[in-house]
């Protein structure tokens, strides 16, 4: 059984947050209390409520310009990560896949098999119709070239290696803009990383994006009160953090409310990256790199192989490589996020054949969705 963070820390001062979760002493499963489940449901309900809109509905939104700009940041970072690490024929696990917004990116990378999981039933249903390509005919939907499987469940609570025994190992795992939802308790953070590790093959890659704790805490400390933001987003901490100090002994459960105009409005948790890195190492996941979005975008905007991608995504306003079309407020939102890449320890098997074509389906009925309930 994995030790608690308290025991594994060299300083001996880290420990799980009080009262929220505990390990099951009899096995490798982690137990949760009711408040943790309530928060997980809040997050699920928030995302489920955001049902699929048609292109016309989206274009009619009063803040469509803002939304497009928001999307730009997410899309650019994810597209670059996928272009960098996804290889032809790869089996991909998309944790917290949402409505399948990355399906086209996976298709461009010519992956061989896709498994998507999300806690929000509504999002998984949207992902299913998007994958089938049978949504509203006004939307430019397409059929995808890889077989897929979709599951609905809490991937930071459930032990996924059982549910995915026939699908693993995966070559690549992606968790975009979601890992921070696991940081409500040590048990959930561990479950998230244990799932990634147990499902990746040796040498497999884990790519992701999440809020940059350093930036958020720096902004909080610079703010007059416990809230800060701009015309696009705001972040609000509860009074329990009025001193704006965070003990290294409690690196989990540091909750704040995040509001991103017409996109996100739910509780999130600070992920101190050094804790994420050392916890990941316990699960045989080694850091390849971590970069704040600003540095990430600046770096890849200048690489010739990504200029076309950047232009397609609208990153290069008038063709000037050093300028984006983002407003200053949008650019500030980008600063809130970081991108990371981890690699599962071990040597990949030689002559790995692509055996994925017999897994998953090319058209998913409602009944094909697997519901994993804890």
DSSP codes, 95-135: ET-TTTTTHHHHHHTT-SEEEEEES-HHHHHHHHHHHHT-S
Window contacting ligand SAM (CB under 6 A); options: 11-19, 92-100, 213-221, 273-281:
92-100
Q: 178: annotated binding-site residue? A: no
66, 69, 86, 97: residue in contact with ligand SAM (rule CB under 6 A): 97
91, 96, 103, 217: residue in contact with ligand SAM (rule CB under 6 A): 96
- Minimum Å gap between C-beta 229 and ligand SAM is 17
What is the residue whose two structure tokens read 């459930």? 158
Q: 78: annotated binding-site residue? A: yes
Q: Does 73 bind ligand SAM (CB under 6 A)?
A: no
CA end-to-end span of the chain, whole Å?
20
Q: What is the spatial distance between Cα 24 and Cα 26, in angstroms, rounded to a whole number?
A: 5
DSSP codes, 9-48: SSSS---PPTTTEEE-TTSS-EEE-HHHHHHHHHHHHHHH
CA neighbor of 100 nearest in space, from 84, 86, 81, 120: 120
Q: 28: annotated binding-site residue? A: no
Q: 176: annotated binding-site residue? A: yes
Q: Which residue's Cβ lies closest to ligand SAM? A: 98
Q: 126: annotated binding-site residue? A: no
- Minimum Å gap between C-beta 10 and ligand SAM is 29
| Chain residues 136-175 in contact with ligand SAM, contact rule CB under 6 A | 154-156
Q: What is the spatial distance between Cα 105 and Cα 180, in angstroms, rounded to a whole number?
A: 23
| Chain residues 23-62 in contact with ligand SAM, contact rule CB under 6 A | 40, 43-44, 47
Task: Compare residues 142 and 247 and give the one whose CB is closer to ligand SAM.
Answer: 142
Q: Does 115 bind ligand SAM (CB under 6 A)?
A: no
List binding-site positions for S-adenosyl-L-methionine.
78, 96, 118, 154, 176, 181
Residue ranges that bind ligand SAM, judged by CB under 6 A: 40, 43-44, 47, 96-98, 101, 118-120, 123, 154-156, 176-178, 181
């Amino acid at each position: 059984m994995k030790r608690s963070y308290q025991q594994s820390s060299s300083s001996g001062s880290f420990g799980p947050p009080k009262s929220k979760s505990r390990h099951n002493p009899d096995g490798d499963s982690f137990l949760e209390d009711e408040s943790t489940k309530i928060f997980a449901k809040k997050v699920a309900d928030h995302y489920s409520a955001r049902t699929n809109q048609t292109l016309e509905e989206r274009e009619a939104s009063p803040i469509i310009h803002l939304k497009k700009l928001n999307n730009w940041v997410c899309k650019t970072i994810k597209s670059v990560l996928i272009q960098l690490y996804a290889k032809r024929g790869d089996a991909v696990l998309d944790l917290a896949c949402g409505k399948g917004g990355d399906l086209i990116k996976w298709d461009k990378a010519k992956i061989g098999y896709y498994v998507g999981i999300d806690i929000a039933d509504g999002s998984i249903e949207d992902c299913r119709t998007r994958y089938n390509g049978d949504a509203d005919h006004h939307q430019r939907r397409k059929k995808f070239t890889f077989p897929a499987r979709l599951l609905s469940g809490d991937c930071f609570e459930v032990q996924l290696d059982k549910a995915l025994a026939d699908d693993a190992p995966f070559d690549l795992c992606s968790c975009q803009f979601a890992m921070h939802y696991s940081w409500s308790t040590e048990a959930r953070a561990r479950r998230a990383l244990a799932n990634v590790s147990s499902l990746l093959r040796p040498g497999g890659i884990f790519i992701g994006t999440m809020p940059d704790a350093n930036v958020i805490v720096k902004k909080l400390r610079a703010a007059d009160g416990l809230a800060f933001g701009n015309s696009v987003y705001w972040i609000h901490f509860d009074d329990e953090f009025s001193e704006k100090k965070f003990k290294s002994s409690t690196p989990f459960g540091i909750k704040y409310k995040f509001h991103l105009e017409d996109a996100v409005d739910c509780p999130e948790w600070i992920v101190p990256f050094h804790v994420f890195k050392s916890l990941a190492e316990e699960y045989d996941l080694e850091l390849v790199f971590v970069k704040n979005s600003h540095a990430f975008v600046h770096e890849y905007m200048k690489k010739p192989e990504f200029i076309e991608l950047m232009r397609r995504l609208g990153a290069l306003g008038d063709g000037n490589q050093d300028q984006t079309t983002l407003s200053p407020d949008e650019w500030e939102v980008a600063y809130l996020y970081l991108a990371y890449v981890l690699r599962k320890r071990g040597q990949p098997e030689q002559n790995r054949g692509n055996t994925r074509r017999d897994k998953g389906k090319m058209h998913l009925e409602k009944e094909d969705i697997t519901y994993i309930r804890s």
